[in-house]
Structure 1
Amino acid sequence: MKLLWISFVFIIAFILVYSIIPTVLIRINGWGIRKRIPSSAIAITFDDGPNPIYTPQLLDLLKKYRVKATFFVVGSKVNRYPEIIQRMSKEGHTIGIHHYQHISSWICSPFRIKKELALTDEAIRTCTNEQVTFYRPPWGHFNLFSLLVSKPYKKIMWSHIFGDWKAAKGKNGLLEELRTAVEPGAILLLHDCGETFGADPDAPFYMLENLEILLKEALDKGTNFITLKEL
């Protein structure tokens, strides 16, 4: 029993030291990451895509309002839908890494993270012939070695996150939160795919409805939206 208790304490301590504590310290102190942009403009970012249904609709919407955005894409989906990534690139959007599989850094070894980055980088470059500069880990999770392993990339977090991966948020409350978040230097995090763990498949539909209203209002007021590569 004593050995079992010691093993349990060791496992908990390892989890805290390897994953949770580094994530908390990095995000609170801003070590090696960017949560805002040094600009009077706003950066809209999208995670978890590309999605064959909603990402093209999102690209249509952005094109309609002449807004450029930043997409943190899942490498395995890039290989599945290369034509969507090619369209993103041609239309002037920034494309960054969001792991090859949507897996948390909390359960990844340094070697696994390095592989996730390398595979996604290769997938994006194959589609776009462009250098990959930006990285956002799934769920914003880091581990003890994340910053070291991902050193070649600029780590981008967010100033505002909305829970838009849930359809209920899109139906009630998302628009007001978006309006509140429209402020100089903000990095907004939305999702163009509802296929990841804990998400609703139809959530991007409601996100798109709210986003169009926001873009109309913000652009009428002279708000400027930029991609990260414009900094």
Structure 2
Amino acid sequence: MKRIQQPEEGPGVYLTFDDGPDPLYTPKLLDLLNKYQVPCVFFVVGERAQMYPDLIRRMNAEGHALGIHHYQHKSSWFIGPYSLKKQIVTTGNILEEITGLKPVYYRPPWGHFNLFSPAAARNFQVVMWDVIAGDWKVGPREQLLTRLMNKVRDGSIVVLHDCGETLGADSKAPAVMIEALEAFILKLKDSSFQFKRLEDRRK
């Protein structure tokens, strides 16, 4: 289980999104990413991918990578080895069925691992993050933007959320996230930051 977590030395910011797809917010997010030609990795929940396969196809068609975020948004802390493996394998099979591609990335919900995670995820690159800004809660757009700008640096992996239907999240939080994200993208582009593909990362 290779874990990608720390920023690397060198240019590039890597955007990642968890918990989707969402029928309302994911299309808006894809429109925004397409507008500015920004690539990302979507860590999708398997049961939601089954519900909205056209969004998975669109993510793939527009050049974004897809990763596994369990079949259900369940913490690894509360599931055993068989269930954990099933969460990962089932989601991987769903994504391959929809896109024809085997996913290579995995991120557990909430970043939680257990004793069985290394074995269950041994065939995947586990992608964590160094920038997290609390975007799952509704708040002022400018506040979220400030948190992002204060934490990001060259080589950062940023995690955001395009679905607010998970435990502890606000259902309308992705609307604020998308507004803040556009400002974040513009500020970073003005500062000569580059948004890079995770698959091009040196590590």
* TM-score with structure 1 setting the length: 0.83
Alpha-carbon RMSD across the aligned residues, in angstroms, is 1.3
- Where structure 2 has 5 or more consecutive residues not aligned to the other structure, the ranges are none
The amino acid across from 2:90 in the alignment is L
Tell which deviates more after alignment, 33-42 or 125-134: 33-42
> 1:181, 1:188 within 8 Å by CA — same for their partners in 2?
no
Alignment of 1:1-231 (within 5 A): 32-38=2-8, 39-168=10-139, 170-171=140-141, 173-231=143-201
The residue type paired with residue 141 of structure 1 is H
Which amino acid in the other structure matches residue 187 of structure 1? I
The 3-state SS of whatever aligns with 2:194 is coil
1-structure distance, mates of 2:166, 2:86: 20
| Amino acid across the alignment from 1:206 | V
Percent identical residues? 45
Query: Quick one: distance in 1 between partners of 2:63 and 2:6?
Result: 21
More off after superposition, 173-182 vs 114-123: 173-182
Residue 172 of structure 1 deviates from its aligned partner by: 5.3
4+ residue segments displaced more than 4 Å: none
Give CA deviations for 1:29-50 in whole Å, capped at 9, x if unaligned.
Answer: xx84221353420101100000
Alignment size in residue pairs:
200
Moved more, 33-42 or 81-90: 33-42
Task: Give the deviation of 1:181 after TM superposition.
Answer: 2.6
Structure with the largest fraction of helix = 1
Q: Distance in 1 between matches of 2:120 and 2:90?
A: 14
Deviation (angstroms), 1:93: 0.4
Q: Which amino acid aligns with 1:83?
A: D
What is the Cα deviation at residue 221 of structure 1?
2.1
Once the two structures are overlaid, the 10-residue window that deviates more, 37-46 or 192-201, is 37-46
How far does the alpha carbon of each residue in 1:90-136 deviate from its partner, in whole angstroms, 9 at most, with x for none? 11101000000000000111110110011100111111111210000
Letter in 2 for 1:64: K
Measure the CA separation in 1 of the matches of 2:89 and 2:120.
Answer: 11
TM-score computed with the length of structure 2 as normaliser = 0.94
| Range with greater deviation from structure 2 (178-187 or 36-45) | 36-45
Aligned to 1:16: none
